[in-house]
Amino acid sequence: DTGVSQDPRHKITKRGQNVTFRCDPISEHNRLYWYRQTLGQGPEFLTYFQNEAQLEKSRLLSDRFSAERPKGSFSTLEIQRTEQGDSAMYLCASSLDANPREAFFGQGTRLTVV
Amino acid sequence: GIQVEQSPPDLILQEGANSTLRCNFSDSVNNLQWFHQNPWGQLINLFYIPSGTKQNGRLSATTVATERYSLLYISSSQTTDSGVYFCAVGAAGNKLTFGGGTRVLVKP
């Protein structure tokens, strides 16, 4: 499978715990994006990387959120001290750095904070 | 930032019917994509169409960039077409901004 891969698919955690999600992009794609989607809404941009550099962060990305892409390949998104409002689907996408910059999405990680 | 509006918000179709979904956006873009979100949450790419017209089977899309809108046509709808359709636009080659989606239900 050469698509975008995310792990885990589902995560249930207690409020206050830390969680980490992983995204493996399409191998030749050097851009990687994170989005969050809450029920009934469209996905919202969180952050993106070009290779290992994090080039843009949304104001949705509070201090409790951190994302890394240490070797320009896979990426991790960590949420510290989770809150119930963090419950959402977290989507990862990747694209080329040149036209066509068509983005392809993974299956997402559904987080439930109880 | 760019605003994206999709209409209608909900659409109920009888199997075999045709329909048109619309996406309006507020600024110039160099990326426009249509997605179908399946019941498990995955976004399936339908079209990458910053301008022009494309067709893929029973689906086709047209983007008129100068007038800031795009249309997705579904012909001879099938129950498997049910789900949420999203339009997403991007400028300067970076993040995508999504519309609110059109929820489609195709009844047998």
**CA-nearest residue of chain A to B42?**
A107
Does the structure show a pLDDT above 90 at B26? yes
B7 touching A (Cβ < 8 Å): no
CA of B75, closest CA in chain A: separation in Å?
24
Dist. CA A51–CA A69, nearest whole Å: 7
CA of A104, closest CA in chain B: separation in Å?
7
Say which residues have a Cβ less than 8 Å from residue B7's Cβ, sequence separation at least 6: B21, B22, B24, B102
* Mean pLDDT value of segment B4-9: 98
Using pLDDT thresholds of 50, 70 and 90, give the confidence band for residue B39: confident
* Positions in chain A whose pLDDT score sits under 70: 1
Q: What is the pLDDT of residue A1?
A: 54
B90 touching A (Cβ < 8 Å): yes
In chain B, beta strands by DSSP E: 4-7, 10-14, 19-25, 31-37, 43-48, 52-56, 59-64, 69-74, 83-90, 96-98, 102-107
